[in-house]
A and B are shown apart, each in its own frame.
Chain A
Amino acid sequence: MAVRVALLALLLAAAAPAPPPVDPALGRTPLADPAAEAQAMRLMHELRCLTCQNQSIADSNAEQAEAMRALVRSRIAAGESPEAVRADLIARYGDWVSFRPPARPDTLALWAVPALALLVGGLVVRRLFR
């Protein structure tokens, strides 16, 4: 068991490339490339500030949010896709950090609500018109 964990750790360490350096100024300044900045903005609006009450990192003045903005912009400037950045942050903080809930077996009920509500409602309505 211990050996396997050690191997796994080695594998993970080897597989994870060193992240590109983060420019702290990017927490306060937009990217020069408007397309990249738009991508970053879209993602920052969907990431949740950790030290605030239900605020996105794009909306928050907290220092923590600023650090996360710097990370998002640096990664996107380095050519990473927004989804890769989101996945990386989820790997660190869990799904909580993304305002978009994951699609998993335990969130099936959440994503099925619209269809389910229409289906059940539709059946009731059908009885009404029969």
Chain B
Amino acid sequence: MSPARLLPLLALAALGLFLAANLGRPQQATIRSAMVGKPVPAFALPGLGDRPGLASTDLGGGEGPVLVNFFASWCLPCRVEAPQLKALADAGIPIHGIALRDSPEDIRAFLARHGDPFRRIGLDRDGQAAIAFGSSGVPETFLVDGRGVIRLQHQGEIRPEQVAEILREARRWR
């Protein structure tokens, strides 16, 4: 038997191994932002009326790193992550919020109910700031360092056990 006859069998084995190795890991479950490592995109969002909005010029003014949290009052996981955001704010990291496709009244009600860890809140009514950040949903949190460069993207809600890791990252980019 010539060894070439075994080529199909080898190809099958390779395919089988490849597919098996990828089975547990669903493909492209989350689309990561390509903005990590790049400066914050230019944006300027209005505020809630009684408090200032958020613009790219508010980020990276030389002080320590800040978190930018995309949230919405209609988003369930955002409620789940509220205590963790509070913990991060209490640890001394400034957090700014960007509310996605939301109304000031709903946001106020949300903050009254679930707590308000935010320094500034920008209203992203039509989702353009989210696109500028390369964000694909809420909740999502970006770490921006003192020079205004995006250092980290956290997709989905921040779970209690992830708070320490985010604190560590924030200290790293001080």
Instruction: Show the binding face of A for B, using Cβ within 8 Å.
Output: 5-6, 9, 12-13, 16, 18-19, 22, 24, 27, 50-51, 63-64, 66-68, 70-71, 89-94, 96-97
Q: Is B84 an interface residue (CB 8 A)?
A: no
Q: Is B17 an interface residue (CB 8 A)?
A: no
In contact, A70 and B148 (Cβ under 8 angstroms) = no
Total A-B residue contacts, Cβ distance less than 8 Å = 72
CB-CB contacts of B24-44 with A at 8 A, as 1s and 0s?
A: 000010011111001101100
Of A90, A92, A94, the most chain B CB neighbours within 10 A belong to A92
Given contacts A51-B137, A90-B34, contact A13 B126 (CB under 8 A): no
CB-CB contacts of B57-75 with A at 8 A, as 1s and 0s?
A: 0001000000000000000
Please indicate the chain B residues that have their CB under 8 angstroms from the CB of A67 in the complex. 126-128, 130-131
In contact, A27 and B33 (Cβ under 8 angstroms) = no
Q: What are 27 residue pairs bridging A and B, where the CB atoms are less than 8 Å apart in the complex?
A: A5-B147, A9-B147, A9-B149, A12-B38, A12-B39, A16-B41, A22-B128, A24-B125, A27-B126, A50-B31, A51-B137, A68-B131, A70-B128, A71-B131, A90-B34, A91-B38, A92-B35, A92-B41, A92-B133, A92-B134, A93-B34, A93-B134, A93-B136, A94-B33, A94-B134, A96-B31, A97-B31
* Contacting residues of chain B (126-150) with chain A, CB-CB under 8 angstroms: 126-128, 130-134, 136-137, 147-149
B148: contacting residue among A13, A18, A64, A97, CB under 8 A: A13
Measured CA separation A92–B136 after assembly (Å): 10
In contact, A63 and B127 (Cβ under 8 angstroms) = yes
Q: Quick one: closest A residue to B39, CB to CB?
A: A9
Given contacts A64-B127, A67-B130, A71-B128, contact A51 B39 (CB under 8 A): no
In contact, A92 and B101 (Cβ under 8 angstroms) = no
In contact, B31 and A93 (Cβ under 8 angstroms) = yes
Q: Quick one: closest B residue to A16, CB to CB?
A: B42
Please indicate the chain A residues that have their CB under 8 angstroms from the CB of B126 in the complex. 22, 24, 27, 67, 70
Please indicate the chain B residues that have their CB under 8 angstroms from the CB of A92 in the complex. 33-35, 41, 131-134
Please indicate the chain B residues that have their CB under 8 angstroms from the CB of A50 in the complex. 31, 136-137
How many Å from the CB of B73 to the closest CB on chain A? 15
Please indicate the chain A residues that have their CB under 8 angstroms from the CB of B131 in the complex. 67-68, 71, 89, 92
Measured CA separation A19–B131 after assembly (Å): 12
Measured CA separation A70–B129 after assembly (Å): 13
In contact, B101 and A93 (Cβ under 8 angstroms) = no
